[in-house]
Structure 1
Amino acid sequence: MRITVFRRLMADEFGAGRAESLAMDHVLSDLGGRTVDQALAAGVPVKQIWRAVCAAFEVPAERR
């Protein structure tokens, strides 16, 4: 998955402003205690990050 696709999925799910805020501020235990932005910078695969976001926010399976 490309980062641009990931960002679009985030915006579609949470709204553009909230998606950006979540990526910067919300720490996810599934990402080793990192935020989305920190995980991206650390080279964590984007698909793994999306799965962690989906699990944390209980995104329905049809939108994962």
Structure 2
Amino acid sequence: MRFREFWQLVDEVLGSAHGRALTRDLVIPGLGNMTPVQALDDGVEPRDVWHALCDELEVPEPQRWGSARQAPPRRR
């Protein structure tokens, strides 16, 4: 997942204004107690940040990928 795709999903799945606020303000334990923006700035892969954000918000798997995207695999 590229940064562009991450931000498109934030806008589509979470809503533009709400999603952008969450990425700046929501501290996620799964990201080492960083916000998504901090994690991205720290070099965490966008795909991993997206999964952590969706996990924290309990977004169901089928809704995580917007209307026309195929889910990228999780890293294990």
TM-score band w.r.t. shorter chain: over 0.9
Unaligned runs of 5+ in 2: 65-76
Question: Does 1:8 find its partner at 2:8?
Answer: yes
Structure whose residues are more often helix by fraction: 1
How do 1:37-56 residues align onto structure 2 when only pairs under 5 Å count? 37-56=37-56
After superposition, the CA RMSD in angstroms is 0.8
After TM superposition, the score normalised by the length of structure 1 is 0.94
Aligned length: 64
Q: Percent identity?
A: 36
After TM superposition, the score normalised by the length of structure 2 is 0.80
Which of these two proteins has the greater Rg computed from alpha carbons? 2
Letter in 1 for 2:33: G
* Aligned equivalents of 1:63, 1:12: Cα separation in 2: 10
Deviations 1:40-62 (A, max 9, x none): 00000111101101101111111
> Which structure has more RCO (C-alpha within 8 Å, separation ≥ 6)?
2
> 1:19 aligns to what?
19
Unaligned runs of 5+ in 1: none
